[in-house]
Amino acid sequence: MTMTTTAASVTPRPVVTVRDLTIAIGAKKSPKRIVTGISFDLVPGRIQGLAGESGSGKTVSSLAILGLLPANAQVGGSIELDGTELVGMKNRALNTIRGRRIAMIFQDPSSSLHPQITVGSQLTDHVRRHLKLNKTDARARAIELLTRVRVPSPHEALGRYPHQFSGGQRQRIAIAIALACDPVVLLADEPTTALDVTVQAGILHLVKDLAVERDLAVLLVTHDLGVMSAIADDVAVMRNGAIVESGSREQIFTDPQHAYTRELLDSLPGAQRTVTKENSR
Ligand SMILES: Nc1ncnc2c1ncn2[C@@H]1O[C@H](COP(=O)(O)OP(=O)(O)OP(=O)(O)O)[C@@H](O)[C@H]1O
């Protein structure tokens, strides 16, 4: 007898919905339009990619989700987190969401790590502040997180400073801090761009595994289509502040519809293009 089930085909409800997002930055009377009405969803357990060349508006869009745009930015449209509107939300309210429900990692892990504070203190201060854990529980949590992101010798790592780790390990530590409060959303902006190719794959697979095991909705921002094809489930391609095409990874990489997407794929070096296509099957 053949068993059929519909459960596997049901995509979970998005935790973040971005609708008609517009962003302009600059003087009130003549701001520069940077994002011109983009829409996408972030779904638990899935990785949504935002691709496109430098300056297309990827970073600005992800910063808008965190409410981290400069004061002279004008934001229109809607960004909902579990039904709560974030656009126009007061900074104080946003502060409780940032780092707690929505976390972010950046290209340069050093930007999320204090150079003069031990890794242990950075992790335990974070969980003690947000989760109100006592010292012992915070330390146990820090070790558990470092173990999960596969930082070698987690107990010793707690007493070391960021510069005593390699770039890849620093990014793992930044990921541990990002995960410390069990966020529902992870924004990853060029998380492997500063790393050696050999180190990149490990970080990408970690992000992918974490998305699945923690039901984390991930926004992966990168200009690198090789990175995108390695782990994204869905891809939106941005150009000049607009999304020109979006679809599943497979569709974007094997059957691109928009001329600009084809142009981006064609600009990849031959070998990488083959890998990228193979990754997406
Ligand atoms: N604070 C700001 N004030 C004025 N313009 C800005 C500001 N931040 C970004 N921009 C402009 O917004 C546009 C989009 O920048 P953004 O960083 O989002 O691009 P990107 O697609 O992420 O590219 P990259 O990978 O190079 O960061 C660029 O033209 C940039 O100069």
How confident is the model over 192-214, as pLDDT tens digits? 988 988 899 999 999 999 999 99
Please state the domain extents for the chain. 106-182
3-state helix, strand, coil in the chain (%, to 5): 40, 25, 35
Adjacent-strand bridge partners of 80: 17, 85
Burial of 154: CB neighbours in 10 Å, binned 0-12, 13-18, 19+? buried
Instruction: Report whether pLDDT(278) > 80.
Output: no
What pLDDT does 3 receive? 44
Taking the chain, what is the end-to-end CA distance rounded to the nearest angstrom? 30
Rg from Cα positions in the chain = 19
For ligand 1, atom 29, the nearest C-alpha belongs to 55
What pLDDT does 199 receive? 92
Q: 49 or 10: whose pLDDT is higher?
A: 49
Is 70 close to ligand 1, i.e. is its CB under 6 Å away? yes
What pLDDT does 5 receive? 46
What pLDDT does 159 receive? 96
Is 107 close to ligand 1, i.e. is its CB under 6 Å away? no
What pLDDT does 96 receive? 86
How confident is the model over 225-239, as pLDDT tens digits? 989 999 999 999 999
Alpha carbons 109 and 168: distance in angstroms, whole number: 9
How confident is the model over 101-132, as pLDDT tens digits? 999 999 988 888 999 999 999 999 888 888 88
What pLDDT does 223 receive? 92
Instruction: Report whether pLDDT(280) > 80.
Output: no
- What one-letter code names the amino acid at 79? I
Adjacent-strand bridge partners of 22: 36, 76
User: Hunting for tokens 């679809």 — which residue is that?
Assistant: 247
Confidence band for 275, pLDDT divided at 50, 70 and 90: low
Choose from 6-15, 87-96, 208-217 the range with maximum mean pLDDT: 208-217
Helices (H), 15-112: 58-66, 91-97
Task: Give the mean model confidence (pLDDT) for residues 62-69.
Answer: 94
Say what the ipTM of the complex is. 0.93
Alpha carbons 257 and 245: distance in angstroms, whole number: 7
CB contact at 8 A, 64 and 50: no
What pLDDT does 274 receive? 64
Is 139 close to ligand 1, i.e. is its CB under 6 Å away? no
Sign of the CA dihedral running 169, 105, 45, 126: positive
* Ligand 1 geometric centre to CA of 141 (Å): 36
How confident is the model over 157-189, as pLDDT tens digits? 999 999 999 999 999 999 999 999 899 999 999
Closest C-alpha to 49, from 177, 190, 176, 168? 190
* Ligand 1 geometric centre to CA of 48 (Å): 20
Task: Give the mean model confidence (pLDDT) for residues 238-263.
Answer: 95
CB contact at 8 A, 179 and 214: yes
Residue 62 corresponds to which tokens in the numbers above? 């992800």
Alpha carbons 170 and 172: distance in angstroms, whole number: 5
CB contact at 8 A, 199 and 168: yes
What pLDDT does 173 receive? 96
What pLDDT does 12 receive? 84
